[in-house]
Amino acid sequence: MKTKAKILCLALAVCLALGLTACGDSGASDPSPRKLTDPSGAEITVPGKIESVAVLAPSLAETVAALGEGDKIVACDTSSVGLEGVPADIPALDLSAPNMEELIALKPDVLLVTNMSLYDQEDPYRPLMDLGVCVACVPTSDSIADIESDIAFVASVFGKEDEGKRIVDDMQAEVDRLAAVGATIKDKKSVYFEISAAPYMYSFGSGVFLDEMLSLLGAENILSGEEGWLGVTEEAVVAADPDVILTNVNYIDDPTGEIASRPGWDAVSAVKSGQVYYIDNMASSLPDHNIVKAMDQMAKAIYPEYYGE
């Protein structure tokens, strides 16, 4: 009898221990805060559970939405209003100088910004950080590889690394597909890509993802000898005589017609041959996974004989 009693007591003890362990596991399984380094180089602590996020850049808003986390966006910048996956009727803030009091009132778990937000102020988000808000900065990237790295980082913030990898893999597969055709092109066309219309013409040289895309497509940017985003003159473009002109200007009614009607531009090869094309503004402006949509449009505009209509 004593032996049976000992066995029963031991069994009860084991059951009790297992019960206590199960209770302990339910707490231990809760996600814990994680330490990450954001693309700006800052060490951040990401909450274990993210229920709300403010996003102050359309490229980041599109990335968050693509990850399936768009419903958590509680505030965005004005340029992100209406983007697919971004909730309607949420506060829209100035990208370069957001209302700090409004952000403090929202107190999101995470704030995603670029170097374009309050860039001229020292430690501008300290009031939010003191409240426990995780502020992550993703500076605007200038290469396809860096854009892919940014997507992976945002995915890691939400603990969705696998989904981020899928987005990057799909993006890179499309880049590789287009680049494989571009590598076969020997007779390269020269291209001028306008991102701001006359009289304040603006474009880009090397070190910009759009220049990289042109190169991969087998084309030559007429401004590749210069670096970064830059202002250009009409005289410089006319003298370069590009074979193709692309524009993503969307603030005038007929950007391609405006280019073709400029005095003296009728002698430019692209204008004479009618090779002036519009490229989707958002896809070509925002450094995120959607740049491949612009890259496909650029390919078909420059080399329809290679990439198809």
Q: Where are the domains of the chain?
A: 34-140, 187-307
pLDDT of 83 above 70: yes
Determine the pLDDT at residue 21: 33
pLDDT of 29 above 60: no
Q: What mean pLDDT comes out for the span 275-301?
A: 98
- Residues across the chain: 309
pTM value is 0.88
Of the candidate ranges 115-129, 149-163, 226-240, the one whose mean pLDDT is the lowest = 115-129
Q: What mean pLDDT comes out for the span 198-205?
A: 96
What is the Cα–Cα distance from 42 to 159, expressed in whole angstroms? 18
pLDDT of 14 above 70: no
Distances 234 to 225, 262, 263, 298 between C-alpha atoms, Å = 17, 9, 10, 22
User: Is it true that 34-140 and 187-307 share their CATH fold?
Assistant: yes
Determine the pLDDT at residue 2: 39
Provide the percentage of residues in the chain whose pLDDT is more than 70. Answer: 90
Amino acid at 224: S
pLDDT of 102 above 80: yes
Determine the pLDDT at residue 16: 33
Determine the pLDDT at residue 30: 57
What would be the CATH architecture of the domain defined by 187-307?
A: 3-Layer(aba) Sandwich (3.40)
pLDDT of 226 above 50: yes
Distances 149 to 137, 146, 180, 214 between C-alpha atoms, Å = 13, 5, 22, 21
Amino acid at 196: S
Binned at pLDDT 50, 70 and 90, residue 84 comes out as very high
Of the candidate ranges 11-20, 64-73, 77-86, 104-113, the one whose mean pLDDT is the lowest = 11-20
Determine the pLDDT at residue 243: 98
Determine the pLDDT at residue 195: 97
**132 contacts: CB under 8 Å, gap ≥ 6:** none
Determine the pLDDT at residue 121: 82
CB environment 90-118: b (16+ within 10 A), e (fewer): bebbebeebeeeebeebebbbbbbbeebb
**Secondary structure (3-state) at 201:** coil
Average pLDDT of the chain to the nearest whole number: 90
Domain over 34-140 is classified CATH 3.40.50.800: no
pLDDT of 11 above 60: no
Binned at pLDDT 50, 70 and 90, residue 286 comes out as very high
Q: What mean pLDDT comes out for the span 114-125?
A: 86
pLDDT of 148 above 70: yes
